Amino acid sequence: MKKVLSNKYFLLGTRVLIGLVFIISGIIKISNPHDFVDAVTNFKMLPPETVNLFVIIIPWIEFSSGLLFLFNIYSKETGTILIGLLIMFSIAVAVAFLRSITFTCGCFGDIFPQEIGLLKIVENLILIGLIANILINTPQNTLENK
Task: Give yes or no for residue 74 binding other proteins (CB under 8 A).
Answer: yes
Q: Give the span between the Cα atoms of 103 and 97, in whole angstroms.
A: 10
Closest approach, Cβ 131 to other proteins, in A, equals 14
Site string for other proteins, 10-39 (x = CB under 8 A): --------------------xxxxx--xx-
Among 11, 15, 19, 65, binds other proteins (CB under 8 A): 65
33 near 82, Cβ under 8 Å? no
For other proteins, give the closer residue by CB, 52 or 137.
Answer: 52
Query: φ and ψ at 104, to 5 degrees?
Result: -75, 145
Closest by Cα among 71, 73, 67, 62 to 124: 62
Site for other proteins in 93-112 (CB under 8 A): 103-104, 110
Among 45, 46, 80, 133, binds other proteins (CB under 8 A): 80
Task: Give yes or no for residue 140 binding other proteins (CB under 8 A).
Answer: no
CA atoms within 13 A on the CB side of 124: 22
Task: Give yes or no for residue 68 binding other proteins (CB under 8 A).
Answer: yes
Alpha helices in 32-141 (DSSP H): 33-43, 48-70, 75-98, 118-137
Among 21, 28, 51, 105, binds other proteins (CB under 8 A): 51
Closest approach, Cβ 103 to other proteins, in A, equals 7
Closest approach, Cβ 20 to other proteins, in A, equals 18
62 near 25, Cβ under 8 Å? yes
